Amino acid sequence: MSNFVVPNRIFDPEAECMPSGERVKMQIAGLRRTVEQAKKIPFYRRKFDKSGIAPESIKSLEDLQQLPFTTKQDLRDAYPFGFFAVPRAELARLHASSGTTGKPTFVGYTQKDLEIWSGLCARFLVAGGLTADQIVQVSFGYGLFTGGFGLHSGIERVGASVLPASSGNTQRQIMLLEDVKIDTLICTPSYALNLAENITAMGKKGKLALRYAHLGGEPWTEEMRLGIEEELGIRAFNNYGLSEIIGPGVSGECAVRCGMHIQEDQFMVECLNPETLEPVADGEQGELVITSLNKEACPIIRYRTRDLAYLDSSPCECGRTTKRMSRIRGRSDDMMIIRGVNVFPTQIEEALLRVDGTAPHFMIELTRPGNLDEAAIKVEIRPQDFSDKMEAMHKMRDRIGREVTAITGLHFNIELVEPNTLERFTGKAKRVFDNRKLND
Ligand SMILES: [Zn+2]
């Protein structure tokens, strides 16, 4: 049943199937516009002044390589609004992504930015089977995270109807899927697998109307896709985006499913060796570095995503003329994605610093015993604080758990270990042991 053919539909043929020569001209104009807009941001203005960059400096796409990189740290240093290029009155919406500490990174959108964004979500939704007569259940959280509202607007743009279920409460999600006869589901891949398992356990396998899923927000494997498709009898599509760039909609799969088409009229995506920052060849894995071409509120130049993937410029049967990117195959830093939430080891460190008696030695272990991520932290106790009294130790453990949840928003299993039992590192500490098998 899950092998039914998905019709090849294109939401915006003019943009998605544009002849490449025409697209290059558009991208050069977009880069100039972005440099012009980015001058309003002190970080970029300083960099441009130093190296003498002006919009007119951009004469070819290769000139992108003269432009400065932007890192998550740069965005954080400018907290909260240092990377906004428009006055507050021109903002139409704010979102945020989690940072490496308790503070989020804000992103802003003008009305025009929101229109572009919803169009980009509409492109991958239509590519993956969405039509105006469908009802879509959005089981992403609605909030600061860009997933919920981003997809919501994209669905409306296609003319389909949205059921904004938001995240959590699996039994209720399944009731909605069944009673509303939902056609398309939107959530993270691990949550889709979790729903599938519950649906099977409830004896409802094969009894839902569900036909499509658009899954994103965390890396997943082809094996996981096949599992979800088989269990739910659907076709599941992958899409990619990140809030620092715009949210979901940077790229997404077509019906052919041989990589995700990059929306190249809106973004320049480079694939670079993360050490040398030199471009790698097509098919070779590197770090994705993304530049926006049309954003007003938060134009971004050469953002180092730390996501590892490869690019493919070969033609696609679907008729789109854009480059494709592979699924995300890993990270070039130590960020973890746990149940769709970005978490950095430094956040755990910060939580531990708030609790007296814990040494700065800890280890994070990620597993996926069923379909959902489990996260555990082993924390070493300082010798002078180590106690044989269970009660004192339990109190400390609970306190750590609360602090970690306060910073990350996630529950971790906390285990206290005796002084000097965790491995010591001479170089960079290896804090994270990811046993979830995310790579293909
Ligand atoms: Zn295609």
Two tokens, residue 424: 């010591």
416 vs 429 pLDDT, higher one: 416
Name the pairing type of β-strands 311-312 and 324-325: antiparallel
Residue-level pLDDT at 9: 97
CA of 125 to the centre of ligand 1 (A): 13
Report the range of poorest mean pLDDT among 113-122, 249-258, 389-398. Answer: 389-398
| pLDDT band, very low/low/confident/very high, at 427 (cuts 50, 70, 90) | low
- Please classify residue 179 by burial: count the beta carbons closer than 10 Å to its beta carbon, then call 0-12 exposed, 13-18 middle and 19+ buried: exposed
Residue-level pLDDT at 440: 42
pTM: 0.84
CA of 158 to the centre of ligand 1 (A): 19
User: What would the pLDDT profile of 161-200 be if each residue is shown by its tens digit?
Assistant: 999 999 989 999 999 999 999 999 999 988 898 899 899 9
Neighbour count for residue 47 (Cβ, 10 Å): 18
CA of 324 to the centre of ligand 1 (A): 8
**1 pLDDT higher than 80:** no
Sorted by where each starts, the structural domains of the chain and their CATH numbers stand as 13-332 (3.40.50.12780), 338-434 (3.30.300.30)
| pLDDT band, very low/low/confident/very high, at 13 (cuts 50, 70, 90) | very high
Specify which residues 118 forms β-bridges with.
none
Report the range of poorest mean pLDDT among 39-48, 199-208, 415-424. Answer: 415-424
| pLDDT band, very low/low/confident/very high, at 428 (cuts 50, 70, 90) | low
Q: Which residues crowd ion ligand 1, with CB under 5 Å? A: 254, 256, 316, 318, 320
CA of 124 to the centre of ligand 1 (A): 10
Neighbour count for residue 11 (Cβ, 10 Å): 19
Helix segments in 271-344, DSSP class H: none
> Phi/psi of residue 126, each to 5°?
-65, -40
CA–CA dist 261, 321 (Å, integer):
9
Q: What is the mean pLDDT of the chain?
A: 92
Two tokens, residue 191: 């949550």
Report the range of poorest mean pLDDT among 65-79, 236-250, 252-266, 331-345. Answer: 331-345
CA of 89 to the centre of ligand 1 (A): 39
Mean pLDDT for the stretch of residues 242-246: 96
User: What would the pLDDT profile of 360-383 be if each residue is shown by its tens digit?
Assistant: 788 999 999 888 899 999 998 888
| pLDDT band, very low/low/confident/very high, at 347 (cuts 50, 70, 90) | confident
**289 pLDDT higher than 70:** yes
Three-state DSSP at 9 gives coil
CA of 238 to the centre of ligand 1 (A): 13
Helix segments in 98-169, DSSP class H: 111-127, 146-158
